[in-house]
Structure formats: structure tokens, C-alpha cells
Amino acid sequence: MTKTGNDPAAPAVANLPRREISSRMRRTLRLDDRREPKVGEIAEWIAIGVVEGDLAPGQDLNSVDLAKRFGTSRTPVREALMLLEQEGLVSIQARRRPRVAVISASDISDIYEVRADLLARMVRLVVERASDEQLGGLGSWVDQLRAHAKVKDVDSYFWTHVALQEQLAEIARNRVLKQILDSLALRTLVLRHRSISRPGRLQASLVDQIRLYEAISARDADLAAAIIAGATRAAQRAIEDGFSAEPASA
């Protein structure tokens, strides 16, 4: 059984509040730096919808409907869509409605090839640099993953896993590594949610996270790197299996 740590940043309940999800998405998109609140509100809503699968790849994003939904003009809508286009979540083409971006099979392969190497390097640094107190805090996050998996709460498990990896990146204390991971953040969030939603993946992911925590706690850098790289490749296979089973987009 994972020992619960004392990390004050760790969530305290099994059902992750939507405000926590909103806060994490706003940090990922750096929305608090923007002066126009409506742009951030619209971008956040679309981004969460894309990541969690409520807005499907290739789905139209009607700017008139969005303006009505958020009680605003079309200008903030256009700005929000342009922001999300820069992040790879939205596709904007001339004389066509904006759409949720479609990630190709080759994109998945390229992203996960890089991601596996980056995460392996990250946990090696965590093993080297984490204090005993920080290791205890990581245990709190693993306990939360266990609680979410027990009730099959995919979204809460997913966002807690995102937060756990953010903690690992902070502990690693490598600014360039974190910047590279952040640059891939939104596209990988879409893929990671797709992976964890596949049949059997929730429990498999939990097993991997427990093993990873145990390897980090034992200060075994080689084992921790092998576990997270293997877990990343397993997530890639789950995405590719789901991708091949989907009908081709029109």
C-alpha cells in the first residue's frame, strides 16, 4: 500500500473538482497572462472539451454559436480559436469553419518517441534530486490515483496524473526539459486522455504509476526510467489501436 505523504498541493478528495481542472488548463494555456477574460474563458472551454473528448477531432467550431454561448462578440471567439490553433488543438483554413484538429498516426508516433525519452530523463533527475519530503508528497498523488481508479473516474484520474507529472518536472529542476515538455503539453494531453480512456488502460496505468513511485523511492534511476518509458510506449500502442479502429474523417 502506498504511504500517504504530506504534500499540501495534493488533492484531498477522490472526485476532482472542475475548478481544479479549470485551473490546470489555464496554467497550461497561460491564460492568466491575457487581458481579455472572455478569450481565456472560451479557449479554456474548448481546450478541456477537446482533451476530454467532448469535442471530437474534425468537429466544426461555429464562431456564431460560440459567441452566443459565451454572450460576446465574435472577436474574442476568433482570438481564442487562433490561440488554440497555435497550440495544435484547432485547425483554421481559408473559407472553412474552424475545426478541432485531427492528429495523424505519424504525429502520434513522433510525439511519443520524443516523449518517452524526455520522461525517462526527467525521472532520472527526480531520483537524483528529490528530497525525502518530496518523495512523501509523491506518495500522496499516487494514493489519489488509486482512489480515482477504484471508482473508475477516468477524468479525475487523468487530471491527477497530469498534476503528478507536473510535480515530477518541478522536482527534476531542469528548466529546458520542462520547457520542451510544456511545448508539447496540449497535444499530449489530448493523446493521453484518449489512451487512458481505452478499455483496461486505467488499471494498467495505475500499476505503472505505483511501480514508478516505488522505483523512485528506492532511488533506482535505471528502473524508474525503464518503467516510465515502457508505460509511455504502452500508452502509445493504446492510442494507435484506437486510432486504427476509428472511421476515417471526411
Digit-by-digit pLDDT tens for the chain (250 residues) are 343 344 434 444 345 677 888 888 888 888 877 668 899 999 999 999 999 999 999 999 999 999 999 999 999 999 999 999 999 999 999 888 999 999 888 999 999 999 999 999 999 999 999 999 999 999 999 999 999 999 999 999 999 999 999 999 999 999 999 989 988 888 899 999 999 999 999 999 999 999 999 999 999 999 999 999 999 999 999 999 876 555 444 3
Q: Do the beta carbons of residue 89 and residue 187 sit within 8 Å?
A: yes
Q: Distances from the Cα of 148 to the Cαs of 11, 15, 17, 21, 96, in angstroms?
A: 11, 7, 12, 14, 40
Residue 42 has a pLDDT of: 96
* Structure-block grid coordinates of residue 167: 510535480
Please tell me the chain's helix, strand, coil percentages from 3-state DSSP, rounded to the nearest 5. 70, 0, 25
Exposure string (b/e) for 119-128, b if CB count within 10 Å is 16 or more? bbbbbbbbbe
Q: Do the beta carbons of residue 190 and residue 100 sit within 8 Å?
A: no
- Condensed to tens digits (0 to 9), the pLDDT of residues 131-183 reads 999 999 999 999 999 999 999 999 999 999 999 999 999 999 999 999 899 88
Distance CA 155, CA 115 (A): 21
- The angle subtended at Cα 130 by Cα 208 and Cα 24, nearest 5°, is 65
Question: In 3D, which of 119, 122, 120, 127 has the Cα closest to residue 219?
Answer: 127
Residues with Cβ within 8 Å of residue 175, at least 6 apart in sequence = none
Question: In 3D, which of 107, 49, 108 has the Cα closest to residue 80?
Answer: 49
DSSP code of residue 249: P
What CATH architecture does domain 105-245 belong to? Up-down Bundle (1.20)
Tell me the one-letter amino acid at 207.
Answer: V
Q: Is 105-245 the same fold as 18-100?
A: no
Residue 245 has a pLDDT of: 53
Residues with Cβ within 8 Å of residue 157, at least 6 apart in sequence = 145, 148, 149, 196, 202, 205, 206
DSSP H helical ranges for 72-131:
74-86, 105-129
- Condensed to tens digits (0 to 9), the pLDDT of residues 212-232 reads 999 999 999 999 999 999 999
CATH top class, domain 18-100: mainly alpha
Domain ranges of the chain: 18-100, 105-245
Q: Do the beta carbons of residue 62 and residue 97 sit within 8 Å?
A: yes
Q: Do the beta carbons of residue 206 and residue 145 sit within 8 Å?
A: yes
DSSP H helical ranges for 87-220:
105-129, 132-150, 154-172, 175-183, 185-196, 201-217
* Structure-block grid coordinates of residue 131: 528530497
Distance CA 47, CA 90 (A): 9
